[in-house]
């Protein structure tokens, strides 16, 4: 079973998926929306991917403010969480996504991706970073319980 990772943006949704063992995350795709508030096709695509990859859960990036408060984007993310759980029947875990876009841009700079091409990759990479952070946490938690 795999885990789907999502980076929910104003007009895009970055998608990542874990390997079957839940060790690594790979960026999968970016789902574009013509209007930010229209999620029907986005939700349908996420459902397709969840079935295709036999996902057991979804990890959704949760955009807290740096001072740990919740803004408008976080409120929309909470609504999306509920909608995803209803549509897919899968548990949706909110995962702190602070600084993932910054990390994604830094990784692309280090990889030599030109500035004008970074936007087309940023959301997918951010989704992979969110999911990888969650996978690492789960692995470290399991190791701590064994010690």
DSSP per-residue letters across 24-65 = -EEEEEEEE-SSTT--HHHHHHHHHHHHHTTEEEEEEEE---
pLDDT in tens, 73-120: 889 999 999 999 999 999 999 998 876 666 666 776 777 777 766 676
CATH numbers and ranges of domains, the chain: 2-146 (3.30.420.140)
pLDDT of residue 101: 67
Q: Do residues 60 and 81 touch, judged by C-beta distance below 8 A? A: yes
Residue 137 to residue 89: CA distance in whole angstroms: 24
CB neighbours of 21 closer than 8 A, spacing ≥ 6? none
Residue 87 exposed, middle or buried by CB count within 10 Å (0-12, 13-18, 19+): middle
Q: Say what the pLDDT of residue 118 is.
A: 62
- Rounded Cα gap, residues 25 and 12, in angstroms: 19
Q: Which residues pair with 27 in a beta bridge?
A: 16
Beta-carbon contacts of residue 89 (< 8 Å; ≥ 6 apart): none
User: Kind of pairing, strands 55-62 and 25-32?
Assistant: unpaired
Average pLDDT over residues 38-58: 95
Q: Would the pTM of this model clear 0.75, i.e. be above it? A: yes
Q: For residues 126 and 132, what is the distance between their CA atoms, to the nearest angstrom?
A: 10
Q: What is the mean pLDDT of residues 49-61?
A: 97
**What are the angstrom distances between the C-alpha of 6 and each of 67, 126, 145?**
23, 8, 28
């Amino acid at each position: 079973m795999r885990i789907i990772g999502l980076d929910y943006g104003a007009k895009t949704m970055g998608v990542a998926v874990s390997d079957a063992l839940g060790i690594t995350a790979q960026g999968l795709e970016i789902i574009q929306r013509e209007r930010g508030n229209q999620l029907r096709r986005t939700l349908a695509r996420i459902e397709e991917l969840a079935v295709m990859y036999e996902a057991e859960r979804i990890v959704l990036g949760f955009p807290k403010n740096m001072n740990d408060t919740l803004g408008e984007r976080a409120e929309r993310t909470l609504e999306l969480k509920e909608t995803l759980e209803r549509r897919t029947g899968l548990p949706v875990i909110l995962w702190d996504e602070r600084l993932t876009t910054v990390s994604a841009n830094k990784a692309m700079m280090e990889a030599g991706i030109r500035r004008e091409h970074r936007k087309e990759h940023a959301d997918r990479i951010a989704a992979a970073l969110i999911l990888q952070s969650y996978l690492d946490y789960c692995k470290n938690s399991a190791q701590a319980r064994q010690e």
